[in-house]
Chain A
Amino acid sequence: MPPQIDVRLDRVTKRFHEVVAVDDLSLEIQRGEFFSMLGPSGCGKTTTLRMIGGFEEPSEGAIYLGETDVTGLPPFKRDVNTVFQNYALFPHLTVFENVAFGLRRRKVATDQIASEVTAMLELVELPGYEARKPSQLSGGQQQRVALARALINHPRVLLLDEPLGALDLKLRKQMQLELKRIQTEVGITFIYVTHDQEEAMTMSDRIAVMRAGRIEQLGNPEELYERPTTPFVAGFLGVSNLLEGEVAGHDGALVSIRLRDGTVLRAPADGVAASGPVRVGVRPEKLRVEAGEAGPSDGLNALAGVVLDASYIGVSTQYVIQTADGHRLTVYAQNLDTAGASEAMAGGQRVHLTWKPQHTFVISGPAEHVAGDPHLPEEGETDV
Chain B
Amino acid sequence: MPRTRRRLTPYLLLLPGTAWLVLFFAVPMGYMLVMSLQQGSLSEGYHLTWNWGIYPDIAVKYGNLFLRSVSFALATTVLTLAIGYPMAYTIAFYGGRLKNALLLVVIMPFFVSFVIRTLNWRMVLSDNGLVFGTLKDAGLLDQSFRFLATPASVIFGLTYNFLPFMVLPLFVALEKIDRRMIEAAADLYASRAQAFWRITFQLSLPGVVAGSLLTFIPAVGDFINADIIGARSPDVAMIGNVIQRLFLNSNDFPAAAALGFVLVAGTMLLVGVYTRIVGTDRLTS
B178's nearest neighbour on chain A, judged by CB, is: A88
Interface pair B189/A92, CB less than 8 Å apart: no
Known contacts A88-B178, A91-B203: A76-B184 contact under CB 8 Å: no
Chain B, interface SS category:
helix
Known contacts A84-B183, A88-B178, A88-B180: A76-B191 contact under CB 8 Å: yes
Residue from the list A75, A86, A106 in contact with B187, Cβ < 8 A: A75
Most buried by A among B181, B187, B189, B202: B187
Let me know if A102 is at the binding interface, CB within 8 A.
yes
Interface residues of A in 131-162 (CB under 8 A from B): 149-150, 153
Q: How many residues of B contact A (CB 8 A)?
A: 18
Q: Which residues of B contact A54 (CB under 8 A)?
A: 186
Let me know if B185 is at the binding interface, CB within 8 A.
yes
Known contacts A55-B183, A84-B180, A84-B183: A92-B188 contact under CB 8 Å: no
Q: Which residues of A contact B203 (CB under 8 A)?
A: 91-92
Let me know if B87 is at the binding interface, CB within 8 A.
no
Let me know if B119 is at the binding interface, CB within 8 A.
no
Interface pair B183/A153, CB less than 8 Å apart: no
Interface pair B189/A106, CB less than 8 Å apart: yes
Minimal beta-carbon separation of A155 from chain B (angstroms): 9
Interface residues of B in 188-203 (CB under 8 A from A): 188-191, 194, 198-199, 202-203
Interface pair A101/B183, CB less than 8 Å apart: no
Minimal beta-carbon separation of B177 from chain A (angstroms): 10
B202's nearest neighbour on chain A, judged by CB, is: A92
Known contacts A84-B180, A84-B183, A101-B185: A90-B194 contact under CB 8 Å: no
Let me know if A105 is at the binding interface, CB within 8 A.
yes
Q: Which residues of A contact B183 (CB under 8 A)?
A: 55, 75, 82, 84, 88
Minimal beta-carbon separation of B16 from chain A (angstroms): 30
Interface residues of B in 141-200 (CB under 8 A from A): 178, 180-181, 183-191, 194, 198-199
Residues of A within 8 A of B (CB): 53-55, 74-76, 80-82, 84, 86, 88-92, 101-102, 105-106, 149-150, 153
Other A-B contacts than A90-B185, A90-B199, A153-B189, 12 sampled, CB-CB below 8 A, are A55-B183, A76-B186, A76-B188, A76-B190, A82-B183, A82-B184, A84-B184, A88-B178, A91-B285, A105-B189, A105-B190, A106-B189
